[in-house]
Structure 1
Protein backbone atom coordinates (compact mmCIF):
# COMPACT_ATOMS: atom_id res chain seq x y z
CA UNK A 1 0.00 0.00 0.00
CA UNK A 2 1.39 3.39 -0.99
CA UNK A 3 0.95 6.13 1.59
CA UNK A 4 -1.00 9.12 0.33
CA UNK A 5 -0.39 12.77 1.29
CA UNK A 6 -2.06 14.06 4.45
CA UNK A 7 -5.45 15.62 3.62
CA UNK A 8 -5.20 19.36 3.97
CA UNK A 9 -6.37 21.34 6.97
CA UNK A 10 -5.78 24.61 5.11
CA UNK A 11 -4.63 25.65 1.67
CA UNK A 12 -1.19 26.18 3.19
CA UNK A 13 -1.06 22.58 4.41
CA UNK A 14 -2.24 21.35 1.02
CA UNK A 15 0.72 23.11 -0.59
CA UNK A 16 3.25 21.97 2.00
CA UNK A 17 2.75 18.24 2.32
CA UNK A 18 2.99 17.02 -1.28
CA UNK A 19 6.26 18.94 -1.60
CA UNK A 20 7.57 17.02 1.38
CA UNK A 21 6.94 13.63 -0.19
CA UNK A 22 9.96 13.97 -2.51
CA UNK A 23 12.11 13.24 0.41
CA UNK A 24 13.99 10.47 2.15
CA UNK A 25 17.51 9.53 1.49
CA UNK A 26 15.71 31.01 9.38
CA UNK A 27 14.48 31.63 12.26
CA UNK A 28 15.37 33.63 15.41
CA UNK A 29 18.86 34.57 16.49
CA UNK A 30 21.56 32.22 15.25
CA UNK A 31 25.05 31.67 16.61
CA UNK A 32 27.89 33.08 14.58
CA UNK A 33 29.21 30.93 11.75
CA UNK A 34 31.74 28.36 12.99
CA UNK A 35 35.35 29.43 12.63
CA UNK A 36 36.86 25.98 12.96
CA UNK A 37 38.59 26.98 16.18
CA UNK A 38 38.13 24.41 18.99
CA UNK A 39 34.98 25.08 21.01
CA UNK A 40 35.42 25.03 24.77
CA UNK A 41 33.32 22.74 26.94
CA UNK A 42 30.71 24.37 29.19
CA UNK A 43 29.60 22.67 32.40
CA UNK A 44 25.87 22.26 33.01
CA UNK A 45 24.35 23.80 36.13
CA UNK A 46 24.94 21.74 39.27
CA UNK A 47 22.72 18.68 39.51
CA UNK A 48 21.83 18.70 35.81
CA UNK A 49 23.23 17.59 32.48
CA UNK A 50 22.83 19.27 29.14
CA UNK A 51 21.30 16.27 27.33
CA UNK A 52 18.34 16.38 29.72
CA UNK A 53 17.99 20.16 29.43
CA UNK A 54 15.21 20.74 26.88
CA UNK A 55 13.87 24.15 25.93
CA UNK A 56 10.99 25.01 23.62
CA UNK A 57 11.53 27.63 20.94
CA UNK A 58 8.93 30.29 20.04
CA UNK A 59 8.11 28.18 16.97
CA UNK A 60 7.40 25.15 19.14
CA UNK A 61 10.55 23.13 18.43
CA UNK A 62 12.40 21.34 21.24
CA UNK A 63 16.12 22.09 21.70
CA UNK A 64 18.37 19.77 23.67
CA UNK A 65 21.37 21.22 25.46
CA UNK A 66 23.11 24.44 26.35
CA UNK A 67 20.99 27.35 25.05
CA UNK A 68 24.19 29.36 24.53
CA UNK A 69 26.12 26.58 22.78
CA UNK A 70 28.53 27.82 20.13
CA UNK A 71 27.43 25.10 17.72
CA UNK A 72 23.78 24.44 16.94
CA UNK A 73 22.92 21.24 15.04
CA UNK A 74 19.40 20.97 13.59
CA UNK A 75 17.98 17.89 11.91
CA UNK A 76 14.92 17.90 9.67
CA UNK A 77 13.67 14.34 9.90
CA UNK A 78 10.68 12.09 9.32
CA UNK A 79 9.53 9.11 11.39
CA UNK A 80 8.72 7.21 8.17
CA UNK A 81 12.14 7.82 6.58
CA UNK A 82 14.44 4.79 6.82
CA UNK A 83 17.55 6.98 6.55
CA UNK A 84 16.31 9.06 9.50
CA UNK A 85 15.77 5.87 11.49
CA UNK A 86 19.29 4.72 10.69
CA UNK A 87 20.69 8.11 11.67
CA UNK A 88 18.83 8.03 14.99
CA UNK A 89 20.11 4.55 15.80
CA UNK A 90 23.73 5.32 14.97
CA UNK A 91 24.01 8.95 16.08
CA UNK A 92 21.82 9.46 19.16
CA UNK A 93 24.29 8.25 21.83
CA UNK A 94 27.17 10.30 20.43
CA UNK A 95 24.99 13.36 19.95
CA UNK A 96 23.98 13.20 23.62
CA UNK A 97 27.66 12.93 24.59
CA UNK A 98 28.56 16.00 22.55
CA UNK A 99 25.55 17.91 23.86
CA UNK A 100 26.62 17.05 27.42
CA UNK A 101 29.92 18.82 26.77
CA UNK A 102 28.01 22.08 26.46
CA UNK A 103 29.65 22.75 23.10
CA UNK A 104 26.60 21.96 20.97
CA UNK A 105 22.82 22.00 21.12
CA UNK A 106 20.67 19.62 19.07
CA UNK A 107 17.22 20.15 17.66
CA UNK A 108 15.03 17.65 15.81
CA UNK A 109 12.42 19.34 13.63
CA UNK A 110 9.58 17.22 12.29
CA UNK A 111 9.50 17.22 8.50
CA UNK A 112 6.16 15.50 7.98
CA UNK A 113 5.93 13.50 4.75
CA UNK A 114 2.75 11.40 5.00
CA UNK A 115 -0.20 10.58 7.30
CA UNK A 116 1.66 7.89 9.26
CA UNK A 117 4.45 10.38 9.89
CA UNK A 118 1.91 13.00 11.02
CA UNK A 119 0.27 10.62 13.49
CA UNK A 120 3.66 9.63 14.91
CA UNK A 121 4.80 13.25 15.20
CA UNK A 122 1.63 14.23 17.07
CA UNK A 123 2.23 11.39 19.53
CA UNK A 124 5.95 12.08 19.93
CA UNK A 125 5.12 15.65 20.93
CA UNK A 126 2.20 14.60 23.13
CA UNK A 127 4.19 14.18 26.34
CA UNK A 128 5.88 17.55 26.05
CA UNK A 129 9.48 18.63 25.73
CA UNK A 130 11.04 16.50 28.47
CA UNK A 131 10.23 13.14 26.86
CA UNK A 132 10.20 14.19 23.21
CA UNK A 133 13.69 12.87 22.42
CA UNK A 134 13.37 9.48 24.13
CA UNK A 135 9.96 9.00 22.48
CA UNK A 136 11.32 9.99 19.09
CA UNK A 137 14.09 7.41 19.31
CA UNK A 138 11.60 4.74 20.31
CA UNK A 139 9.18 5.62 17.51
CA UNK A 140 12.03 5.24 15.03
CA UNK A 141 12.52 1.79 16.53
CA UNK A 142 8.87 1.01 15.75
CA UNK A 143 9.19 1.95 12.08
CA UNK A 144 9.33 -1.58 10.62
CA UNK A 145 6.27 -2.67 12.61
CA UNK A 146 4.50 0.51 11.56
CA UNK A 147 5.07 -0.27 7.90
CA UNK A 148 3.95 -3.89 8.31
CA UNK A 149 0.69 -2.88 9.99
CA UNK A 150 0.08 -0.13 7.45
CA UNK A 151 0.43 -2.65 4.63
CA UNK A 152 -1.90 -5.04 6.43
CA UNK A 153 -4.66 -2.39 6.49
CA UNK A 154 -5.15 -2.57 2.73
CA UNK A 155 -6.05 0.36 0.51
CA UNK A 156 -9.79 0.28 1.18
CA UNK A 157 -9.43 0.57 4.96
CA UNK A 158 -6.71 3.17 4.57
CA UNK A 159 -8.79 5.33 2.24
CA UNK A 160 -11.77 5.09 4.59
CA UNK A 161 -9.57 6.22 7.46
CA UNK A 162 -8.26 9.18 5.49
CA UNK A 163 -11.82 10.15 4.54
CA UNK A 164 -12.77 10.58 8.22
CA UNK A 165 -13.22 14.12 9.61
CA UNK A 166 -9.90 15.88 10.31
CA UNK A 167 -10.30 15.57 14.09
CA UNK A 168 -10.74 11.78 13.81
CA UNK A 169 -8.53 10.54 10.98
CA UNK A 170 -5.19 10.39 12.79
CA UNK A 171 -6.73 8.71 15.83
CA UNK A 172 -8.22 6.04 13.57
CA UNK A 173 -4.97 5.63 11.68
CA UNK A 174 -2.86 5.42 14.85
CA UNK A 175 -5.23 2.83 16.30
CA UNK A 176 -5.05 0.69 13.16
CA UNK A 177 -1.25 0.62 13.05
CA UNK A 178 -0.67 0.15 16.77
CA UNK A 179 0.76 3.58 17.50
CA UNK A 180 -1.60 4.30 20.39
CA UNK A 181 -0.80 1.02 22.11
CA UNK A 182 2.91 1.67 21.55
CA UNK A 183 2.60 5.15 23.08
CA UNK A 184 0.62 3.78 26.04
CA UNK A 185 3.48 1.42 26.85
CA UNK A 186 5.73 4.48 27.02
CA UNK A 187 3.69 6.54 29.45
CA UNK A 188 1.18 8.34 27.23
CA UNK A 189 -2.34 7.66 28.48
CA UNK A 190 -4.86 6.57 25.84
CA UNK A 191 -7.12 9.59 26.39
CA UNK A 192 -4.12 11.90 26.15
CA UNK A 193 -2.93 10.20 22.96
CA UNK A 194 -6.34 10.55 21.33
CA UNK A 195 -6.55 14.20 22.34
CA UNK A 196 -3.17 14.89 20.73
CA UNK A 197 -4.07 12.98 17.57
CA UNK A 198 -7.29 14.97 17.25
CA UNK A 199 -5.54 18.32 17.62
CA UNK A 200 -6.01 19.75 14.12
CA UNK A 201 -4.24 22.98 15.08
CA UNK A 202 -1.10 21.05 16.04
CA UNK A 203 -1.28 19.08 12.79
CA UNK A 204 -1.63 22.28 10.80
CA UNK A 205 1.37 23.76 12.62
CA UNK A 206 3.48 20.74 11.67
CA UNK A 207 2.35 21.04 8.04
CA UNK A 208 3.24 24.74 7.99
CA UNK A 209 6.66 23.84 9.39
CA UNK A 210 7.34 21.76 6.28
CA UNK A 211 6.51 24.69 4.03
CA UNK A 212 8.72 27.00 6.09
CA UNK A 213 11.62 24.55 5.92
CA UNK A 214 11.27 24.35 2.16
CA UNK A 215 11.10 28.14 1.82
CA UNK A 216 14.01 28.84 4.18
CA UNK A 217 16.41 26.04 3.28
CA UNK A 218 15.13 24.33 0.10
CA UNK A 219 14.98 20.96 1.84
CA UNK A 220 15.03 18.19 -0.78
CA UNK A 221 15.26 15.07 1.38
CA UNK A 222 15.39 13.70 4.88
CA UNK A 223 17.39 13.74 6.97
CA UNK A 224 18.75 17.22 6.29
CA UNK A 225 20.99 19.14 8.66
CA UNK A 226 21.81 22.72 9.56
CA UNK A 227 24.95 23.77 11.41
CA UNK A 228 24.46 27.24 12.83
CA UNK A 229 21.66 27.92 10.38
CA UNK A 230 23.47 26.77 7.24
CA UNK A 231 22.29 23.72 5.32
CA UNK A 232 24.97 21.03 5.12
CA UNK A 233 25.22 19.67 1.58
CA UNK A 234 25.12 15.93 0.92
CA UNK A 235 24.95 14.93 4.58
CA UNK A 236 22.60 12.06 5.41
CA UNK A 237 24.74 9.86 7.68
CA UNK A 238 26.33 10.38 11.07
CA UNK A 239 29.97 9.97 9.89
CA UNK A 240 29.49 12.83 7.42
CA UNK A 241 27.69 15.06 9.92
CA UNK A 242 30.27 14.25 12.60
CA UNK A 243 33.09 15.24 10.24
CA UNK A 244 31.36 18.55 9.54
CA UNK A 245 31.01 19.18 13.28
CA UNK A 246 34.72 18.53 13.76
CA UNK A 247 35.44 21.06 11.04
CA UNK A 248 33.28 23.52 12.99
CA UNK A 249 35.35 23.04 16.13
CA UNK A 250 33.60 20.28 18.08
Structure 2
Protein backbone atom coordinates (compact mmCIF):
# COMPACT_ATOMS: atom_id res chain seq x y z
CA UNK A 1 0.00 0.00 0.00
CA UNK A 2 1.32 3.44 -0.87
CA UNK A 3 0.45 7.04 -0.11
CA UNK A 4 -0.83 9.21 -2.94
CA UNK A 5 1.71 11.43 -4.76
CA UNK A 6 2.72 14.48 -2.78
CA UNK A 7 1.07 17.80 -3.41
CA UNK A 8 2.68 21.12 -2.57
CA UNK A 9 0.42 21.52 0.46
CA UNK A 10 1.23 18.06 1.81
CA UNK A 11 4.95 18.51 1.32
CA UNK A 12 4.84 21.89 3.02
CA UNK A 13 3.22 20.24 6.02
CA UNK A 14 5.59 17.30 5.96
CA UNK A 15 8.93 19.02 5.57
CA UNK A 16 8.20 22.64 6.48
CA UNK A 17 9.59 23.80 3.14
CA UNK A 18 7.77 25.18 0.07
CA UNK A 19 7.70 22.63 -2.72
CA UNK A 20 6.07 22.15 -6.08
CA UNK A 21 6.13 18.43 -6.76
CA UNK A 22 2.50 17.85 -7.66
CA UNK A 23 3.40 16.62 -11.15
CA UNK A 24 6.05 14.19 -10.04
CA UNK A 25 5.16 10.55 -10.39
CA UNK A 26 6.71 7.12 -10.62
CA UNK A 27 6.46 6.47 -14.34
CA UNK A 28 7.97 4.27 -17.00
CA UNK A 29 8.33 5.20 -20.65
CA UNK A 30 7.80 2.44 -23.22
CA UNK A 31 10.35 3.68 -25.70
CA UNK A 32 14.12 3.71 -25.46
CA UNK A 33 16.86 5.34 -27.47
CA UNK A 34 20.62 5.33 -27.40
CA UNK A 35 23.05 7.64 -29.11
CA UNK A 36 25.55 6.44 -31.67
CA UNK A 37 28.42 4.46 -30.13
CA UNK A 38 31.39 6.48 -28.93
CA UNK A 39 34.96 5.30 -28.74
CA UNK A 40 35.66 2.83 -25.98
CA UNK A 41 36.80 4.30 -22.68
CA UNK A 42 39.86 2.78 -21.04
CA UNK A 43 39.51 1.12 -17.66
CA UNK A 44 40.99 3.00 -14.70
CA UNK A 45 42.60 1.18 -11.78
CA UNK A 46 41.40 2.24 -8.33
CA UNK A 47 43.77 3.56 -5.67
CA UNK A 48 45.82 0.86 -3.96
CA UNK A 49 43.80 -1.15 -1.49
CA UNK A 50 40.45 0.24 -2.68
CA UNK A 51 37.68 -0.68 -5.09
CA UNK A 52 35.74 1.83 -7.15
CA UNK A 53 32.44 0.23 -6.10
CA UNK A 54 33.37 1.08 -2.50
CA UNK A 55 34.44 4.65 -3.20
CA UNK A 56 31.88 7.30 -2.27
CA UNK A 57 31.72 11.10 -2.34
CA UNK A 58 29.12 13.81 -1.88
CA UNK A 59 28.19 16.00 -4.81
CA UNK A 60 29.34 19.61 -4.61
CA UNK A 61 25.94 20.75 -3.33
CA UNK A 62 25.75 17.82 -0.91
CA UNK A 63 22.35 16.63 -2.15
CA UNK A 64 23.61 13.56 -4.01
CA UNK A 65 26.12 10.77 -3.43
CA UNK A 66 28.52 9.47 -6.09
CA UNK A 67 29.87 5.92 -6.15
CA UNK A 68 32.84 5.03 -8.31
CA UNK A 69 35.71 6.88 -9.92
CA UNK A 70 34.90 10.58 -9.38
CA UNK A 71 36.75 11.36 -12.62
CA UNK A 72 35.06 8.61 -14.65
CA UNK A 73 34.61 9.41 -18.33
CA UNK A 74 31.02 8.13 -18.25
CA UNK A 75 28.85 9.77 -15.63
CA UNK A 76 25.44 8.32 -14.83
CA UNK A 77 22.97 10.37 -12.80
CA UNK A 78 19.74 8.83 -11.50
CA UNK A 79 16.85 10.76 -9.99
CA UNK A 80 14.97 8.09 -8.08
CA UNK A 81 12.24 7.68 -5.50
CA UNK A 82 12.72 5.10 -2.77
CA UNK A 83 8.99 4.35 -2.95
CA UNK A 84 8.91 3.93 -6.75
CA UNK A 85 8.41 0.37 -8.10
CA UNK A 86 9.98 1.27 -11.46
CA UNK A 87 13.09 2.54 -9.66
CA UNK A 88 13.18 -0.73 -7.72
CA UNK A 89 12.87 -2.72 -10.95
CA UNK A 90 15.75 -0.78 -12.51
CA UNK A 91 17.93 -1.56 -9.49
CA UNK A 92 16.89 -5.20 -9.35
CA UNK A 93 17.63 -5.71 -13.04
CA UNK A 94 20.81 -3.70 -13.33
CA UNK A 95 22.59 -2.93 -10.06
CA UNK A 96 24.73 -6.05 -10.07
CA UNK A 97 25.97 -5.45 -13.63
CA UNK A 98 26.28 -1.70 -13.14
CA UNK A 99 28.41 -2.17 -10.04
CA UNK A 100 30.39 -5.25 -11.07
CA UNK A 101 31.01 -4.47 -14.75
CA UNK A 102 30.90 -0.71 -15.19
CA UNK A 103 31.61 1.06 -11.91
CA UNK A 104 34.27 -1.48 -10.92
CA UNK A 105 36.15 -0.73 -14.14
CA UNK A 106 36.57 2.94 -13.26
CA UNK A 107 34.85 3.87 -16.51
CA UNK A 108 31.51 4.80 -14.93
CA UNK A 109 30.39 6.72 -11.87
CA UNK A 110 26.84 6.72 -10.52
CA UNK A 111 25.30 9.72 -8.83
CA UNK A 112 21.99 9.03 -7.05
CA UNK A 113 19.63 11.84 -6.11
CA UNK A 114 16.60 11.01 -4.02
CA UNK A 115 13.42 12.61 -5.40
CA UNK A 116 10.59 12.73 -2.85
CA UNK A 117 7.35 12.03 -4.70
CA UNK A 118 5.48 10.29 -1.86
CA UNK A 119 5.38 11.17 1.86
CA UNK A 120 7.34 8.06 2.82
CA UNK A 121 10.25 9.11 0.59
CA UNK A 122 11.28 11.69 3.18
CA UNK A 123 11.83 9.31 6.13
CA UNK A 124 13.22 6.64 3.80
CA UNK A 125 15.82 9.07 2.44
CA UNK A 126 16.69 10.37 5.90
CA UNK A 127 17.24 6.80 7.10
CA UNK A 128 19.32 5.83 4.06
CA UNK A 129 21.54 8.87 4.67
CA UNK A 130 21.61 8.29 8.43
CA UNK A 131 24.31 5.63 8.22
CA UNK A 132 26.77 7.93 6.46
CA UNK A 133 28.05 8.19 2.91
CA UNK A 134 29.66 4.74 2.84
CA UNK A 135 26.42 3.00 3.84
CA UNK A 136 24.09 5.01 1.60
CA UNK A 137 24.16 2.94 -1.59
CA UNK A 138 24.04 -0.34 0.31
CA UNK A 139 20.91 0.75 2.16
CA UNK A 140 19.27 2.00 -1.03
CA UNK A 141 20.01 -1.35 -2.68
CA UNK A 142 18.42 -3.10 0.30
CA UNK A 143 15.29 -0.95 -0.03
CA UNK A 144 14.97 -1.75 -3.73
CA UNK A 145 15.85 -5.45 -3.37
CA UNK A 146 13.18 -5.88 -0.70
CA UNK A 147 10.74 -3.44 -2.29
CA UNK A 148 7.66 -5.69 -2.39
CA UNK A 149 8.03 -6.73 1.25
CA UNK A 150 8.60 -3.13 2.31
CA UNK A 151 5.38 -2.05 0.64
CA UNK A 152 3.05 -4.77 1.85
CA UNK A 153 1.69 -2.86 4.83
CA UNK A 154 -1.74 -3.62 6.24
CA UNK A 155 -4.56 -1.08 6.27
CA UNK A 156 -3.94 -0.64 10.00
CA UNK A 157 -0.30 0.30 9.36
CA UNK A 158 -1.34 2.66 6.59
CA UNK A 159 -3.90 4.33 8.89
CA UNK A 160 -1.27 4.70 11.62
CA UNK A 161 1.16 6.31 9.19
CA UNK A 162 -1.55 8.66 7.91
CA UNK A 163 -2.36 9.67 11.49
CA UNK A 164 1.34 10.22 12.18
CA UNK A 165 1.46 12.85 9.44
CA UNK A 166 -0.61 15.08 11.72
CA UNK A 167 1.80 14.88 14.67
CA UNK A 168 4.18 17.72 15.63
CA UNK A 169 7.07 17.86 13.18
CA UNK A 170 9.72 16.36 15.47
CA UNK A 171 7.50 13.34 16.20
CA UNK A 172 6.15 12.85 12.68
CA UNK A 173 8.92 10.95 10.95
CA UNK A 174 9.81 8.53 13.77
CA UNK A 175 6.11 7.65 14.00
CA UNK A 176 5.76 7.15 10.24
CA UNK A 177 8.87 4.95 10.20
CA UNK A 178 7.52 2.86 13.09
CA UNK A 179 4.08 2.49 11.50
CA UNK A 180 5.41 1.40 8.10
CA UNK A 181 8.02 -0.98 9.48
CA UNK A 182 11.01 1.08 8.38
CA UNK A 183 12.54 1.23 11.86
CA UNK A 184 12.66 -2.56 12.09
CA UNK A 185 13.89 -2.86 8.48
CA UNK A 186 16.89 -0.56 8.94
CA UNK A 187 17.65 -1.97 12.40
CA UNK A 188 17.97 -5.41 10.82
CA UNK A 189 20.54 -3.94 8.43
CA UNK A 190 22.83 -2.53 11.07
CA UNK A 191 21.44 0.96 11.67
CA UNK A 192 20.82 1.30 15.42
CA UNK A 193 17.29 2.30 16.39
CA UNK A 194 18.49 5.15 18.60
CA UNK A 195 20.51 6.56 15.69
CA UNK A 196 17.48 6.29 13.41
CA UNK A 197 15.28 8.20 15.83
CA UNK A 198 17.90 10.90 16.24
CA UNK A 199 18.14 11.34 12.46
CA UNK A 200 14.36 11.33 11.95
CA UNK A 201 13.80 13.91 14.70
CA UNK A 202 16.44 16.21 13.17
CA UNK A 203 14.12 18.41 11.08
CA UNK A 204 16.87 20.01 8.95
CA UNK A 205 17.52 16.55 7.50
CA UNK A 206 13.91 16.27 6.34
CA UNK A 207 13.94 19.85 5.09
CA UNK A 208 17.09 19.14 3.06
CA UNK A 209 15.36 16.20 1.33
CA UNK A 210 12.36 18.40 0.55
CA UNK A 211 14.45 21.29 -0.75
CA UNK A 212 16.55 18.97 -2.91
CA UNK A 213 13.36 17.53 -4.38
CA UNK A 214 12.06 21.01 -5.08
CA UNK A 215 15.26 21.75 -6.98
CA UNK A 216 14.90 18.55 -8.99
CA UNK A 217 11.32 19.46 -9.91
CA UNK A 218 12.45 22.95 -10.94
CA UNK A 219 14.72 21.32 -13.54
CA UNK A 220 11.63 19.92 -15.24
CA UNK A 221 12.15 16.37 -13.99
CA UNK A 222 8.71 14.98 -13.18
CA UNK A 223 9.01 11.21 -13.12
CA UNK A 224 11.14 8.49 -11.58
CA UNK A 225 13.45 6.97 -12.44
CA UNK A 226 14.98 9.65 -14.65
CA UNK A 227 18.48 8.75 -15.82
CA UNK A 228 21.13 10.81 -17.59
CA UNK A 229 24.36 9.51 -19.14
CA UNK A 230 26.90 12.30 -19.65
CA UNK A 231 24.05 14.81 -19.59
CA UNK A 232 21.87 12.94 -22.11
CA UNK A 233 18.52 11.67 -20.86
CA UNK A 234 17.89 7.94 -21.30
CA UNK A 235 14.39 7.53 -22.67
CA UNK A 236 12.63 4.55 -21.17
CA UNK A 237 14.76 4.19 -18.04
CA UNK A 238 14.81 0.39 -17.97
CA UNK A 239 18.09 -1.44 -17.52
CA UNK A 240 18.32 -2.58 -21.16
CA UNK A 241 18.10 1.05 -22.28
CA UNK A 242 20.45 2.34 -19.58
CA UNK A 243 23.05 -0.29 -20.42
CA UNK A 244 22.76 0.50 -24.12
CA UNK A 245 23.36 4.18 -23.33
CA UNK A 246 26.39 3.30 -21.17
CA UNK A 247 27.88 1.26 -24.01
CA UNK A 248 27.13 4.01 -26.52
CA UNK A 249 29.04 6.41 -24.29
CA UNK A 250 32.06 4.11 -24.42
CA UNK A 251 31.73 2.14 -21.18
TM-score interval, smaller chain: 0.7 to 0.9
Match of 1:102 in 2: 106
Structure 1: give runs of 5+ residues left out of the alignment: 26-33
Q: Give the 3-state SS of the residue equivalent to 2:49 in structure 1.
A: coil
Contact in 1 for aligned 2:174/2:197 (Cα 8 Å): yes
Decide which structure has greater helix share. Answer: 1
Q: Is 2:223 aligned against 1:221?
A: yes
Alpha-carbon distance in structure 1 between the residues aligned to 2:73 and 2:58: 18
Alpha-carbon distance in structure 2 between the residues aligned to 1:241 and 1:76: 13
Contact in 2 for aligned 1:64/1:105 (Cα 8 Å): yes
Structure 2: give runs of 5+ residues left out of the alignment: 29-35
Deviations 1:39-62 (A, max 9, x none): 111000111110000011222211
Q: Give the 3-state SS of the residue equivalent to 1:18 in structure 2.
A: coil
Count of matched residue positions in the alignment of Structure 1 and Structure 2: 239
Alpha-carbon distance in structure 2 between the residues aligned to 1:109 and 1:243: 22
Deviations 1:125-160 (A, max 9, x none): 1101101111101112332233222643244x3332
Alpha-carbon distance in structure 2 between the residues aligned to 1:85 and 1:179: 16
Q: Is 2:199 aligned against 1:196?
A: yes
Match of 1:43 in 2: 45
Match of 2:32 in 1: none
State TM-score, norm by structure 2. Answer: 0.87
- 1:10 offset after TM fit, Å? 8.9
Contact in 2 for aligned 1:16/1:207 (Cα 8 Å): no
Cα RMSD, aligned residues only: 2.2
Contact in 2 for aligned 1:7/1:162 (Cα 8 Å): no
Contact in 2 for aligned 1:78/1:223 (Cα 8 Å): yes
- 1:12 offset after TM fit, Å? 8.3
Contact in 1 for aligned 2:79/2:112 (Cα 8 Å): yes
Alpha-carbon distance in structure 1 between the residues aligned to 2:68 and 2:123: 26
State TM-score, norm by structure 1. Answer: 0.88
